[in-house]
């Protein structure tokens, strides 16, 4: 299915690169992980189209053609999504996010209650907390720990950082060789030290909204994850007012995306067109 890519000038002078699958189905705003370009991935578009959804995405500030926004918080995503929604005349829509996209989806659910109908978060981070071992179970937590030391430290870390293959399970590598090969290709092309640093800074800083303010239904999907451990999903389940958690112990950080079609079924049954 063909998708479109357009530039959206914002009132503050920034630009957002916006992607749209088109059609008249219920809109779903997709929030990408770190790093990704915001381009719509074929397995996302195909699963959504088969269920009557229109998918919209955008490159977060600093990625692809979107202007950087130093100091952005998780909550900043809601203001950008509102601009996208108004430009595309999306009056009511759902939000979905994978990995680092999950908190951005929750930001929209919390701050745009009159526009967002429901949220789906796959392998989502929870807000940073010292009340429990937030890093526990991560194969490599060095980037997030560097972000806690500030932007300059995180930027220096990014200059020499190398991906730890142990972060992915066997199921993850199989997914990246198969259905989710487009994600691997996009992540490699989208890698940007500054944009990734700004993502990590937003993950470990105050999010700019309270999870308790998310009043719409939320579906959490989490596997036996070495990037974002299952305890993050459990924390979100305890603290979101209206959430359910699907546990997928055979999946890791990437292969959990194989649950996307079933999650879209959940969304379709919950939110009538």
pLDDT digits (tens, 9 = 90+) for 209-241: 999 999 999 999 999 999 999 999 999 999 999
Average pLDDT over residues 245-257: 98
CA separation for the pair 30, 144 (Å, rounded): 23
Question: pLDDT at residue 1 above 70?
Answer: no
User: Collapsing DSSP states into helix, strand and coil, what is residue 220?
Assistant: strand
H-type alpha helices, 88-226: 101-111, 142-148, 151-160, 170-177, 181-190, 193-204
DSSP letter at 219? E
pLDDT at 2: 77
What secondary structure, in 3-state letters, does 64-101 show? CCCCCCCCCCCCHHHHHHHHHHHHCCCCCEEEEEECCH
pLDDT at 189: 95
pLDDT at 271: 86
pLDDT digits (tens, 9 = 90+) for 137-177: 999 999 999 999 999 999 999 999 999 999 999 999 999 99
Average pLDDT over residues 35-62: 97
CA separation for the pair 1, 179 (Å, rounded): 16
CA separation for the pair 245, 230 (Å, rounded): 10
Average pLDDT over residues 245-255: 98
Task: Give 272's pLDDT tier (boundaries 50, 70, 90).
Answer: confident
DSSP letter at 211? G
CA angle 8, 104, 60 (to 5 degrees): 35
Cis peptide before 65, with omega less than 30 degrees from 0? no
CA separation for the pair 216, 242 (Å, rounded): 7
Question: Would you say 27 and 93 are in contact if contact means Cβ atoms under 8 Å apart?
Answer: yes
CA distances for 6 relative to 84, 201, 222, 236, angstroms:
11, 27, 32, 34
Percentage of the chain modeled with pLDDT above 90:
97
- What beta strand segments (E) does the chain contain? 4-9, 15-20, 26-31, 53-58, 93-98, 116-122, 218-223, 243-248
pLDDT at 107: 98
Paired sense of beta strands 116-122 and 93-98, if any: parallel
Percentage of the chain modeled with pLDDT above 70:
99
CA separation for the pair 264, 5 (Å, rounded): 23
Superfamily of the domain at 4-270: Alpha/Beta hydrolase fold, catalytic domain (3.40.50.1820)
Task: Give 206's pLDDT tier (boundaries 50, 70, 90).
Answer: very high
Question: pLDDT at residue 57 above 80?
Answer: yes
pLDDT at 254: 98
pTM beyond 0.85: the answer is: yes
CA separation for the pair 50, 33 (Å, rounded): 23
Task: Give 273's pLDDT tier (boundaries 50, 70, 90).
Answer: low
Average pLDDT over residues 87-94: 97
């Amino acid at each position: 299915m063909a998708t479109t890519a357009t530039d959206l000038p914002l009132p503050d002078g920034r630009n957002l690169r916006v992607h749209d699958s088109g059609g008249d189905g219920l809109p779903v705003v997709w929030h990408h992980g770190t790093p990704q370009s915001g381009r719509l991935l074929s397995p996302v578009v195909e699963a959504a189209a088969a269920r009557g959804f229109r998918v919209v995405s955008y490159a977060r500030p600093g990625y692809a053609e979107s202007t950087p926004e130093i100091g952005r918080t998780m909550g900043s995503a809601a203001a950008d999504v509102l601009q996208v929604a108004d430009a595309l005349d999306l009056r009511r829509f759902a939000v979905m996010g994978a990995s680092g996209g999950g908190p951005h989806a929750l930001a929209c659910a919390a701050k745009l209650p009159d526009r967002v109908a429901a949220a789906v978060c796959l392998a989502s981070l929870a807000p940073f907390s010292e009340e429990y071992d937030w890093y526990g179970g991560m194969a490599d937590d060095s980037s997030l720990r560097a972000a806690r030391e500030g932007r300059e430290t995180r930027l220096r870390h990014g200059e020499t950082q190398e991906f730890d293959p142990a972060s992915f399970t066997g199921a993850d590598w199989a997914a990246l060789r198969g259905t989710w090969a487009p994600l691997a290709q996009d992540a490699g092309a989208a890698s940007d030290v500054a944009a990734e640093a700004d993502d990590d800074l937003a993950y470990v800083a105050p999010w700019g909204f309270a999870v308790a303010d998310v009043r719409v239904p939320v579906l959490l999907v989490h596997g036996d994850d070495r990037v974002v451990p299952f305890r993050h999903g459990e924390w979100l389940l305890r603290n979101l007012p209206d959430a359910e958690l699907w546990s997928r112990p055979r999946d890791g950080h990437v292969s959990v995306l194989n649950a996307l079609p079933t999650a879209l079924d959940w969304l379709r049954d919950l939110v009538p067109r």
